[in-house]
Amino acid sequence: MAGQKTLTRADLGEAVYQEVGLSRNESADMVEAVLDEISGALAEGEGVKISSFGSFIIREKRERTGRNPKTGQEVPISPRRVLIFRASNILKNRLNGKKK
């Protein structure tokens, strides 16, 4: 995995600029608006489904008892919400080099 590039907001903005032809500022604003909409929906507990890409789902985890691996002492783990991403079959196939 060393040397792999990470896709950033700036990269997404540049891609919108190249593909759509908006100004760089407008492209960056559009990317920001989409990401704000997605994160806002997730913060409200809603799922987000992007066709041919995948689904982001919020899962509620209950309080449970964990164990400190060093000491073996039981420790309470507080309830929390976690984000799960499930890739679509189209994306899974693309990742594995399969055509539709």
- Cα separation, 19 vs 95, in Å, equals 23
Which sequence spans correspond to the domains of the chain?
8-45, 47-100
Other CB atoms closer than 10 Å to residue 40's CB: what's the count? 11
Q: What is the pTM of this model?
A: 0.76
Question: Is the model's pLDDT at 35 over the cut of 90?
Answer: yes
pLDDT at 21: 86
* Dihedral, 90, 30, 58, 80 alpha carbons, nearest 10: 140
Choose the weakest-confidence range: 64-68, 76-80, 96-100.
Answer: 96-100
pLDDT at 46: 95
- Per-residue tokens: 13: 């903005």
pLDDT at 90: 94
Widest CA span in the chain: 59
Question: Is the model's pLDDT at 28 over the cut of 80?
Answer: yes
CATH architecture assignment, domain 47-100: Irregular (4.10)
Q: What is the mean pLDDT of residues 40-54?
A: 95
